Amino acid sequence: MKFYVFKMKQLIFPLMFIAFIICLILFSNSNLSSAKNGLVLWANSIIPVLFPFFVATELLSHTNFTYYLGKILNRFMKPLFNVRGEGSFAFIMGIISGYPIGAKIAANFRENNICSKEECERLLSFTNNSGPLFIIGTVGITMFGNSTIGFLLLITHLLASLTVGIIFRFWKANLKYTSNDPNSYLDSKDNISLSNLGGIIGDSISSSINTILLIGGFVVLFSVIISILQTSQLLNLLSNFIRPLFNLLKIPSEFASGIISGFLELTNGLNVICNIPNKKLSLNIIIASFLLGLGGISILLQVWSTIAKTDLSIKPYILGKLLHGCISALYTFLFLQNFAFFNFDL
């Protein structure tokens, strides 16, 4: 029996990939359309927003900016998050630019030995966030048609991120580790100058292109996966499966497919949730807040691929995003209940 269980474990992924290939052939028309939509989304929304930030962060990593920023903010980062001051760069850039910049910077910190393994894992738990352009512009204005909702989602998203960071200050806090000498890092860093300016810019662009292509691949792949689930009616079956839980929580069953889609890929799920007609719009907003904090499997895999070359564990990221989604939804609920200005129910 143990032998058969072991063989089944070995066959799980091959069987999944074979089934995926068969579905690609069976539903080729809808898959082609979804792949094109994914490429359009990547080309029009992701590259213009993220690529300049990728290049900028790569260039900044070849300066002493993080060192001096760390010296200034160490008095805040260490007591709050149990991370040295340089970690503030990952937090700030993660807020400004969105997924997956925070995780990429945390991985770079580990590769360059700027922070310890434990500190970088703490950074992973709370610095990889949705950006203000996406939350206010895409979700608030485009999907909900209201910039105030976008600002509300941004405020609760950031408050939840800070809360998760404070909670994760205790992650492996009992482990003893030796802190790197910041001056030794400063001396050994290949800083940008006129003599190596062209080479460093070229390397930064090359590294950023690799990352943006990776993200584009995930966007297209998950657009096709969601299309297969919809065309094969598997999405409806999954929705029916979790409907009893929704009834228990007094959540209308129409939200089931949107939450499943958002669990797989954030943008598609949010688009479904925001467009569900509901007199109690606060429920749409709370669920959207949860999905924004959670991020989804697509972003999880992007982060996982980003840290693959390091010794960082993915566990703090997964736990951090689950907490982020729940806390963000809670904060959004409290704002909607206590501030009439944010009450959008009919």
| Average pLDDT of the chain to the nearest whole number | 83
Q: Is residue 17 part of a domain?
A: no
* Closest to 344 measured CA to CA, from 159, 156, 160, 152: 152
Range of the domain at 317: 27-172+180-342
pLDDT tens sequence across 107-117? 888 888 888 88
Q: Is residue 7 part of a domain?
A: no
pLDDT in the model for residue 7: 58
Q: Which two tokens stand for residue 202?
A: 């070229």
Q: What is the pTM of this model?
A: 0.82
In terms of average pLDDT, the best of 194-198, 241-245, 273-277 is 273-277
pLDDT in the model for residue 216: 85
Q: Is residue 21 part of a domain?
A: no
- Among 10-24, 299-313, 317-331, which stretch is predicted with the lowest mean pLDDT? 10-24
Q: Is residue 22 part of a domain?
A: no
pLDDT tens sequence across 280-310? 788 899 999 999 999 989 899 889 988 888 8
pLDDT tens sequence across 121-131? 999 999 989 88
pLDDT in the model for residue 180: 54
Q: Which two tokens stand for residue 180?
A: 């790197």
* Closest to 45 measured CA to CA, from 247, 305, 254, 270: 270
Q: Is residue 1 part of a domain?
A: no
Q: Taking a C-beta distance cutoff of 8 angstroms, is the pair 287, 259 a contact?
A: yes
- Among 86-90, 98-102, 121-125, which stretch is predicted with the lowest mean pLDDT? 98-102
Q: Is residue 159 part of a domain?
A: yes
Q: Is residue 117 part of a domain?
A: yes
Distance of CA 32 to CAs 24, 38, 119, 230, 239, Å?
9, 10, 43, 14, 24
Asked if the model's pLDDT at residue 51 lies above 60, the reply is yes
Domain count, the chain: 1
pLDDT tens sequence across 260-278? 888 888 888 888 888 888 7
Could you tell me the pLDDT band of residue 229, with boundaries at 50, 70 and 90? confident
Q: Is residue 16 part of a domain?
A: no
pLDDT tens sequence across 33-42? 888 988 887 8
Could you tell me the pLDDT band of residue 184, with boundaries at 50, 70 and 90? very low
State the average pLDDT over residues 188-208.
76
pLDDT in the model for residue 123: 92
Could you tell me the pLDDT band of residue 62, with boundaries at 50, 70 and 90? confident
The full DSSP string for 136-195 is IIIIIIIIIS-HHHHHHHHHHHHHHHHHHHHHGGGTTTT---PPP-HHHHHHHS----TT
Whole-angstrom distance, CA of residue 286 vs CA of residue 290: 6
Could you tell me the pLDDT band of residue 9, with boundaries at 50, 70 and 90? low
Q: Taking a C-beta distance cutoff of 8 angstroms, is the pair 57, 93 a contact?
A: yes
Could you tell me the pLDDT band of residue 188, with boundaries at 50, 70 and 90? very low
Q: Please give the residue that has the higher pLDDT: either 170 or 197.
A: 170
State the average pLDDT over residues 85-96.
84
State the average pLDDT over residues 246-268.
83
